[in-house]
Structures are given as C-alpha cells and as structure tokens.
Amino acid sequence: MAVENIMPSAGRMTRRQLLSMIGTAAGSSVMYQAATSLGYAAESEFKGPPSLSGAPKGASVLILGAGWAGLVAAYELGKAGYKVQVLEYREKAGGRAWTLRGGDTYTELGGFTQKVGFDKGHYLNPGPWRVPYHHRAVMHYYHELGVKLEPFFQINYNAYVHSKSAFDGKPQRYRHVLADFNGHVAELLAKLGHKGGLDGYVTKEDQEKLLAAMQDWGALDDNYAYAANADTSNRRGFEKDPGGGLSGEPVFSKPIEFSQLLQSGLWRAIGTGSGYEFQTALFQPEGGMDAGPMALAEKVKDKITFNAKVTEIHQDNGGVTVTYVDTKAGGAVKTAKADWCLCTIPASILSQIKKNVSPAMEAAIDALPYEAAFKVGLQFKRRFWEQDEEIYGGISYTDLPISLIAYPQSNYGSKGKGVLLGAYPWGPFAYEFAAMAPEERVKKCVEFGAQIHPQYRQEFENGVAVAWHRVPWTLGCFGSWTPEKRKEHYNNLCQIDGRILLAGEHVSYLPAWQEGAVLSSLDAITRLHQRITAR
Amino acid sequence: MHTRLLSAGLLAIALSAAALPAVAQRTDAQSSDFADARRFSYQDGEHLYRAICQGCHMPEGQGAQGAGAYPALAANPNLEAAAYPIHMVVNGQKAMPSFGYLSDAQVAAVVGYIRTHFGNGFAEPVTAEEVKDTRITP
C-alpha cells in the first residue's frame, strides 16, 4: 500500500492509527519517513504556538517594534494575560514585511520621495516575497489568521536564463539549459563507463546501475547519446509541439552543444530551485506580503503606539523605562514603562540607541553589519511576458546588474496591466543602485531588462525602487552573520539581559526570513515567561 | 552568482568569495557603471564614492537621519587622521559593512577623496601602504 493512497482519508483516523497502518503495510523505513513528515520523529523547529499559562496578574512587557517579531510577541503574550504595549517607529505595522501599492508615498533617507504609480491591485514586496512550506511558524499564523495564500513558482521552466556574454546576449529557456546540461553530463559519464573510465571507482555491478540511471536521468538514447529525438524533446520541449490531425506531427528540437553550454555559464542558474528554501511548495499571501503582520496587528491594534521613535532604553531593579518621541505630533519626550522589554529593533538602529545592557550584549549588537539589497517594481501596459513569451509567474535569471526578473504570480491571463519585480541584486550591484536617485534606478532597470524583454521599451509605464540601505527604519536589509561572528556573539545576543531581551531575524539562524523573526520571538517569549513564572 | 542573490544562508559564502582576489571575469558593462557582480571596478576616488558611499552618506556627504543615522562626512574633523576612515572602510563599524574586498589602492583613493571634498581640507595624500598596514593591525 503506497503512502499517498491512504493519506486522503487520514483525517478520519488518529495519527497513531495512521502510522501503525503504514508501519504494518510497508515496513519501518516508510514508517519513519511518514513519521518525519507528520512532525513526530525528527525535531521540528516549530512546535505550535507557546503555551504560556500562569502569567502573574499585572505583569507587563513593553515591545519595541511592530514587525513580525514584535506582533507575534504582543499577540501571544496578550493572550497569556500579560499587559502588553508596543512602540513602533513607523506609521503602520509590518516592518520589513512591507508592500508598496499604487498611491503610497515612500520617502527614503536623503529625502528622496517616490509616489507609487501602480494601478489598483498591483504591488511590490520590497522585502520578503515568498514563504516555503516548511516555514512552519509563519504558515501557522497565516492559517490561524485566515491569510489567503497563492502558489509562488520559484522555478518556471519556460522562463529565461540570460548572460550578456553568451548566445549573443539572447536569453535561453530554463528547460533547454537544464535538460541539455543534465543530458550532456549523463552522456559523458556513460562514455567514461563504457571505456572503463569508472573502473576502480565504482564496482562493475554499480556501473551497470549507474549507466541505466544516466540513460534515464539524461534522456540518453539506446547508444547512450544525448540527441535530438522524442525523449529529449519531452524534456527540453519541441521545435514544433505535437498536435492533432494532419498538421500534428512534431518536430524534435536540437540540444545546445555541450561546450557552448559550459562556456555560457548559464548552468549557474539551474540549481537555485533545488535549495531547501526554494523547493516546492512556496507561497505568497494574496495581495501583498504585509497581509500576515497586518492580520496580527488587527488583533493587537489597541496596544500599538505608532510614530514612536525610541531614544533610550533604561532598566533598573524596578523595571524598564523607554524614552521616545512622537515623530508626527512632536512635543515633549514621552516614556513607557514595563516590568520587561522585548526589543525587536534591528541591530543597525539599536546600536545607536542609548541603553544599559551588559557589555557582552552591547558588543553583540555592535558586531552586526547590515546587508545591501535592492528591488524595483515596474508597471507595464500589458503582460507581454505571458502574451508573447508564455511565461506565467516564476523567475528569469541574468548576470546583468538587475540579477533577476520575477513575474507576477497572480491574475494570469489578465488583459490589463502587470507589475513585475524588475531587479533583486545583493552585493556590489545593490550598493550601486542604492547610490543612485530613485528615478535613475528605475531608468537603469528598464534599460537592463530591455536586453531580455525588448517589449520593455514600448510597454513600460512607471516604477518604484527600494534600496535597503536607504530605508529609514532599518539602515540595511538584514543582519549579516558570519560563522565567526555567530560563534563569538550570537548567544550573548539571545540572553535575557536583566529585564531586556531581543528578537527579530537578526536573533535567528534564518537571517532575512520572516520565519527567523517569528521563531526568535517565540523562543524569546517562551524563555521570558519561564523566567517570570519561575520567580 | 545567481543563487547567492536569493539565499540569505549563502550570503556568507558569497562574501567570503568576494573577499578573495577577484576571480570573477571582468566583463564589459552596458554602461560605465556596474562592471562586476562581486566587486567594485572603479579605481578613482570620486567614482568609488559615487558608486558606494553616497548610498548612505549621501551625495554631498551630508549623512542622513531616520530611526538611526548615517554620520555626515562633510566637514568632519574625524577624517583628519587618515587611519580612522581607512579603518572604517576596511573593517566596517556597527551596521556599516566592511569594504575590505576593495584593493589597497581603491581604499586609499576613496579615503583621499572624502578627505579633500565636502568641506574637508586634509590634503596630505593617502597611500596604499597605509591601507595595507591597517589590514595587518585592525
């Protein structure tokens, strides 16, 4: 009995019954795999929301920052009976889980202001934009709060891989590069095997299996060649697709020559989707990435003070006092007090705020540089990538400074306009975009993108560009840990320092991911609750 | 190169690659900008400033203020001792990343540029040797 055949009815039996059934039918190794997928055997990072029972009456926690980390803490601590207050620098919640829509205005550091010109329903997620299925904590909150999800295609076999210095700058289809690379490598290995080149490395028995595997994996013919035929066209696509009737005879496509493929460097782009973080299934919230934190913020809206710029964090035996100014209303400096403080302010900002924490925590906060990253959203008059090129969602990769183009993953086939992600570089390219005025960044991205999609020139309407080092409330994209820094500082960053503890993506092993922020928050409030209730 | 642009987990690897002597092939750019994905290709101080520093420290070196601040480089007395800005560029500080993958000559050029512009009058030249020494004793 195959596991998948009994899964649909699993809802009507207990997990234990199900496991025992699998165990009986298929032996213990299948049982172990099934147990792992149900979250029993292997340790899961997320074991459900924390159970914080027995909170002392009147115990209070002041939370700094209303992004994922701060909101999850406010929501869970509030449910547990703690008195909770949240201070947020911005005028709204969400932090880096941020969505820019038509009509929004964004002013970056230096005073450069952009008015987003997208039509209704179109948006850019300047920060996180996809959620893999195994980001269980974020998925839990999506499900609990009723956030609607759409599939996010990391890989689109019909999207492009492109190099300005290969194939005369003409973009190639992902499926051609993938099938041909695998096929040629398989053929090479088969040739080696037949000439005795694997002797001494692999036993004769294993060589037989390996040759069979290469034939299968690479779509090699009876002579172990990767050639133009039905099998290879079934991988890389046809020159003329099979059809019906008299006109239906297919024409097989011709593989790219191996040396040309190797020299093109395009093979660099075919592995991305096999990374754990990018494996199917991935999701995006319908309508924009801020849907998650917005749903959480709705649950704790009476607890959040917006436009609050923290200027000092002071703790003593009596509690924590945070000094802040109202950036909109101005006026006198204000204070907020609580027994404890959970600070989710990015280390880039926190390192500049006066605070009395231990030297070890201070050093940890000061040790974390923040990375450059850049995104641009471009609105076009029509969805030419779908209409002209049959690219529905997914990502094209390029070695141009824009690094990639990602197509909208909703409203397929719409006759109206479309907004795509026109760039997402890190590193030197991202610094160079950050150093430009916003309109110049957009212009450059249109120029670069037109090398892949010439339709850009005719169809472009407007764009918005976000360079993370110019974002006033983060001064960078995310905390950049190295193994050495983590060894020296990470545990110190995670400690309960007197009455203060930290959370956020920078306090996790999942930097830059929403999941890191949520898991760090759950870890922090669980430890804080233990500390409080142990007294 | 493309994978690293997507995965935070791989960034550390990519950065250590960037810190090595440039292995990536230098490519001709479509414009005078954006020559290389792994490093900055400009050699002169002004181009380096315009491509990197002004992203945070702003076009006139005036710095910026949000929830946190980027210090102004304009009329900044801390630039008088060249060792200080050299140290900052090579090692970074707090949220400012290290630009240690710039060559000694590039660091000297950009530090020389900020020390002689934006109202800073520290005319004494900055040499690649000084940068080299900073790398040895951070």
Query: Could you say which of A426, A445, A470 is where a domain stops?
Result: A470
Residues in chain B, total: 138
Model pLDDT, residue A191:
97
Across A479-500, b (16+ Cβ under 10 Å) vs e yields bbbbeebbeebbebbbbbbbbb
Other C-beta atoms closer than 10 Å to the C-beta of A188 total 16
Parent domain of A241 = 172-264
In the predicted structure, residue B137 carries a pLDDT above the cut 80: no
Q: Which two tokens stand for residue A180?
A: 């041909």
Tell me how many domains chain B contains: 1
Number of domains in chain A: 4
CA distance A113 to A376: 15
Q: Angle CA(A205)–CA(A207)–CA(A213) in degrees, nearest 5?
A: 115
Q: How does pLDDT run across B82-123, given as a tens digit for each residue?
A: 999 999 999 999 999 999 999 999 999 999 999 999 999 999
| Same domain membership, residue A176 and residue A214 | yes
**Under 8 Å between Cβ of A116 and A145:** no
**Quick check: is B22 in a domain?**
no
Over pLDDT 70: what percentage of chain A? Answer: 92
Q: Which residues contact B7 (CB under 8 A, 6 or more apart)?
A: A275, A277, A278
Q: Between the CA of residue A430 and those of A52, A241, A445, A509, what are the distances in Å?
A: 42, 41, 12, 23
B53-79: burial string, b at 16+ Cβ within 10 Å, e else: bbbbbbeebbbbebbbebbbbbebeeb
Residue A17 covered by a domain: yes
Residue with tokens 């339709």: A455
The CATH number of the domain holding residue A254 is 1.20.1440.240
Establish if A505 belongs to a structural domain: yes
- Between B34, B58, B98, which is nearest A369 by CB? B98
* Partners of A335 in beta bridges: A323
pLDDT digits (tens, 9 = 90+) for A257-270: 999 999 999 999 99
- ipTM beyond 0.90? no
CB distance from B11 to chain A under 8 Å? yes
Percent pLDDT > 90 in chain A is 90
Taking each continuous run of H as one helix and of E as one strand, the counts in chain B are 6, 2
Say whether both A348 and A489 belong to one domain.
Answer: yes
Cis before B18? omega within 30: no
Q: Is residue B94 part of a domain?
A: yes
> Would you say residue A360 has pLDDT above 90?
yes
Whether A131 is in a domain gets the answer: yes
Beta bridge partners of A263: none
Residues in chain A: 535
Instruction: Tell me, yes or no, whether A433 and A357 share the same domain.
Output: no
Please work out, in degrees rounded to the nearest 5, the angle formed at the alpha carbon of residue A285 by the alpha carbons of A281 and A291: 150
Q: What is the pLDDT of residues A457-509, one digit of tens each?
A: 999 999 999 999 999 999 999 999 999 999 999 999 999 999 999 999 999 99
Flag whether residue B74 sits within 8 Å of chain A, measured between CB atoms.
no
Cβ contacts of B94 on chain A, cutoff 8 Å? 348, 351-352, 366, 368-369
CATH number where B59 lies: 1.10.760.10
pLDDT confidence bin for A2, thresholds 50/70/90: very low
* Distance between CA atoms of residues A398 and A360, nearest Å: 43
The β-bridge relationship of strands A131-132 and A100-101 is unpaired
Overall average pLDDT of the A16-25 stretch: 43
Q: Are residues A362 and A493 in the same domain?
A: yes
Range of the domain at B55: 35-136
Looking at residue A317, its pLDDT comes to 96
Residue B75 lies in a domain: yes
pLDDT exceeds 80 at position B16: no
pLDDT at A42: 44
Q: Residues near A14 by Cβ (< 8 Å), separated by ≥ 6?
A: none
A113 with A240, same domain: the answer is no
- Give, as one character, the DSSP assignment of residue A376: E
Task: Compute the mean pLDDT over every residue in chain A, rounded to the nearest whole number.
Answer: 92
Residues A245-294: pLDDT tens digits? 999 999 999 999 999 999 999 999 998 889 999 999 999 999 999 999 99
- Which tens digit of pLDDT belongs to each residue from A96-138? 999 999 999 999 999 999 999 999 999 999 999 999 999 999 9
d(CA A434, CA A151): 31
Beta carbons of A75 and A52 less than 8 angstroms apart: no
Q: What is the CATH number of the domain that holds A527?
A: 3.50.50.60
Is residue A165 included in any domain, yes or no? no
Q: Note whether residue A71 is domain-resident.
A: yes
Q: What pLDDT is attached to residue A82?
A: 98
Q: Any residues with CB less than 8 A from the CB of A329 and at least 6 apart, and which? A: A307
| Chain B hits for A66, Cβ within 8 Å | none
A361 and A504 inside one domain: yes
Angle at A344 between CA A343 and CA A348, to 5 degrees: 105
A136 & A187 share domain: no
Checking if the pLDDT of A34 tops 80, the result is no
The whole-number average pLDDT for the span A17-22 is 44
Single pTM value for the model: 0.88
In a domain, B16, yes or no: no
pLDDT at B2: 37
Please indicate, yes or no, if residue A53 is contained in any of the structural domains. no
Instruction: Indicate whether A435 and A460 sit together in one domain.
Output: yes
Name the DSSP class of A180.
H
**pLDDT digit string (tens) for A192-207?**
999 999 999 999 999 9
Tell which B residues from 15 to 44 touch A, by Cβ distance under 8 Å. 15-16, 18, 27, 30-31, 33-34, 36-40
Domain assignment present for A45: no
A50-81 tens-digit pLDDT = 999 999 999 999 999 999 999 999 999 999 99
CATH label of the domain that carries residue A128: 3.90.660.10
Pairs of residues, one from chain A and one from chain B, whose beta carbons lie less than 8 Å apart: 162
Q: Inter-chain contact A278–B6, Cβ cutoff 8 Å?
A: yes
Residues A322 and A364 in one domain: yes
